[in-house]
Amino acid sequence: MSRTLGRDGWFALLDLVACLAGFGAAILGEWFWIGPVLAHRPGTWVLPWLLSAVVSWLVTVFPERQWHEGVRLWVGGFLAVTGTNLLVQCGVTYVFKIPPASWFLIIAGSILSITLTGLIRFCFPDDTVRAGTLLAGSDRLIDELAG
């Protein structure tokens, strides 16, 4: 018996590819803008790039339908991706002494990844409506809230 990935799984996979492409384009933009200075940075550029892309994907995928509609919500998504990336980069630098990604990479990659995931949502609209809260179980508090 084989299991398929499902529609949500494919969207999550497309979002991961969009985040990897967004941060990949940002690292290429940084290389073209700054030049060969990037190649002479201490450490490798692959780990900060990959870490930034995965963090961006996690922040984009887990909140369902949060910033995929409206300009104000896109700005909120950009700030969430950028802020989380900055926090993770600081933590990884502090704990593991790995050089962090550059500001240009984090900001440009966040803009590009949010834009690409938004384009995916625009090209492939989701037919299901996800709203509300699922309360599992029943006790006095649930009865008071429902009543």
Mind listing the pLDDT tens digit of every residue in the chain (147 residues)? 345 566 667 878 888 999 999 999 998 888 888 776 655 566 667 788 889 999 998 888 776 555 455 565 678 888 889 999 999 999 998 998 888 888 888 999 999 998 998 888 788 776 655 454 555 666 676 667 666
Least Cα distance to 115 among 64, 81, 144 occurs for 81
Closest CA to 77 of 21, 26, 19: 19
- pLDDT at position 91, please? 93
Q: Are 128 and 38 in contact (CB under 8 A)?
A: no
Give CA–CA dist 109/86, Å, rounded.
Answer: 12
pTM of model > 0.85: no
Burial track 45-81 (b if 16+ CB lie within 10 A, e otherwise): beebbebbbbbbbebbbeeeeebbeeeeebeebbebb
Q: Report DSSP state, residue 65.
A: T
The confidence score (pLDDT) of residue 31 equals 80
Between helix 46-61 and helix 6-34 the angle, nearest 10°, is 140
> What was the pLDDT predicted at 1?
37
What is the pLDDT at residue 97? 85
- Residue 107 confidence (pLDDT): 93
